Structure 1
Amino acid sequence: MPDLDPVLQLGGAWARRTDRYSQLAFVAGEEALAMAGLDPAEWDAPRVGVVVGTAFGGVTTLQAQVARQLRGEKVSVLTVPMFAPNMLPGQLCVHWGARGPSFATSTACASGGTAIGMGAQLVHAGVCDIVLAGGSDAPITPIVSAAFARMDALASGTNEPAAASRPFDATRDGFVLGEGAAVLVLERTAHAAARKAPVLARLVGFGASADAHHITDPHPEGVGLRQAMVSALAQAGASADEVDHVNAHATGTPKGDLLEAGLLARLVGRRASVTASKGTLGHTMGAAGAIEAALTVRAIAEQTVPPTANVDCLDPRVEVDVVVGAPRSQRIGLVLSNSSGFGGQNAVLAFAAP
Structure 2
Amino acid sequence: MKNAVAHTNQKKPDLAVKEAISITAISSISPLGISQNAIWNAYQTATSSVHLKRIGKEEVWVGALANESREEIEILKKSDAKYKNLDDSVLFALCVSRNAIAHAGWVAGDNFGINIGSSRGATGLFEKYHKEFLERGKAVTLASPTTTLGNISSWIAHDLQTQGPEISHSITCSTALHSLLNGVAWLRGGMADKFLVGGSEAPLTPFTIAQMKALKIYAKTSGANESEGYPCRALDLDKTQNTMVLGEGAAVACLEKGLPDNALAVIEGIGYATELLEHNISISTDAVCFQRSMKMALGVLHPDEIDVIVMHAPGTIKGDVSEMEAIDKIFCNKKPFCTTNKWKIGHTFGASGMLSVELAVLMLQHQKAIKVPFVSYEKVPTKIHKVMVNAVGFGGNAVSIVLKSV
Normalising by structure 2, report the TM-score: 0.77
- Aligned CA distance change for structure 1 residues 52 and 162 (closer, same or farther; 3 Å): farther
After superposition, residues 246-257 of structure 1 pair within 5 angstroms as 246-257=309-320
Does 2:254 match 1:185? yes
2:393 to 327, 341, 345: 341
Structure 1: give runs of 5+ residues left out of the alignment: 315-320
Provide the rounded CA distance (Å) in 2 between the counterparts of 1:230 and 1:283: 25
Which structure features the higher share of helix residues?
1
Contact between 1:108 and 1:343, CA under 8 Å: does it hold in 2? Answer: no
Provide the rounded CA distance (Å) in 2 between the counterparts of 1:135 and 1:162: 28
Does 2:70 match 1:4? yes
1:101 to 143, 161, 165: 165
Provide the rounded CA distance (Å) in 1 between the counterparts of 2:246 and 2:228: 11
Task: Measure how far apart 1:73 and its partner are.
Answer: 6.3
Task: Measure how far apart 1:232 and its partner are.
Answer: 1.0
2:290 to 209, 225, 234: 225
Task: Measure how far apart 1:12 and its partner are.
Answer: 4.2
1:24 to 92, 102, 109: 92
Runs of 4 or more consecutive aligned structure 1 residues displaced over 6 Å after TM superposition: none
Contact between 1:213 and 1:219, CA under 8 Å: does it hold in 2? Answer: no
CA offsets 1:318-339 (integer angstroms, 9 cap, x no match): xxx588xxxx662111111000
The equivalent of 2:243 in structure 1 is 174
CA offsets 1:11-64 (integer angstroms, 9 cap, x no match): 1424313110111111111221122122224x3x2xx10011210011111000
CA offsets 1:71-108 (integer angstroms, 9 cap, x no match): 11653322222211111111111111122221123111
Contact between 2:272 and 2:398, CA under 8 Å: does it hold in 1? Answer: yes
CA offsets 1:201-233 (integer angstroms, 9 cap, x no match): 001221111111332111123111110111111
Contact between 1:106 and 1:286, CA under 8 Å: does it hold in 2? Answer: yes
The equivalent of 1:281 in structure 2 is 345
3-state SS, counterpart of residue 82 of structure 1: coil
Provide the rounded CA distance (Å) in 2 between the counterparts of 1:241 and 1:222: 21
Task: Measure how far apart 1:144 and its partner are.
Answer: 0.8
CA offsets 1:155-192 (integer angstroms, 9 cap, x no match): 11444695101112223522001111000000111xx6
- Count of residue pairs brought into register by the alignment: 331
The equivalent of 2:361 in structure 1 is 297
1:148 to 197, 212, 218: 212
Task: Measure how far apart 1:243 and its partner are.
Answer: 0.7
Provide the rounded CA distance (Å) in 2 between the counterparts of 1:322 and 1:207: 28
Does 2:88 match 1:36? no
For 2:99, give the aligned amino acid: E
RMSD: 2.0
After superposition, residues 119-130 of structure 1 pair within 5 angstroms as 119-130=183-194
1:200 to 249, 252, 264: 264
The equivalent of 2:116 in structure 1 is 52
CA offsets 1:271-330 (integer angstroms, 9 cap, x no match): 421111101010000100111111111111111111224x2x65xxxxxx588xxxx662
Contact between 1:273 and 1:322, CA under 8 Å: does it hold in 2? Answer: no
After superposition, residues 43-122 of structure 1 pair within 5 angstroms as 43=110, 45=111, 48-72=112-136, 74-122=138-186
The equivalent of 1:163 in structure 2 is 230
After superposition, residues 132-143 of structure 1 pair within 5 angstroms as 132-143=196-207
Provide the rounded CA distance (Å) in 1 between the counterparts of 2:349 and 2:229: 18
3-state SS, counterpart of residue 338 of structure 2: strand
CA offsets 1:94-129 (integer angstroms, 9 cap, x no match): 111122221123111111111111111111111111
Does 2:308 match 1:245? yes
Percent of residue pairs identical:
24
Provide the rounded CA distance (Å) in 1 between the counterparts of 2:312 and 2:216: 19
For 1:246, give the aligned amino acid: I
Provide the rounded CA distance (Å) in 2 between the counterparts of 1:110 and 1:24: 18
Structure 2: give runs of 5+ residues left out of the alignment: 1-64
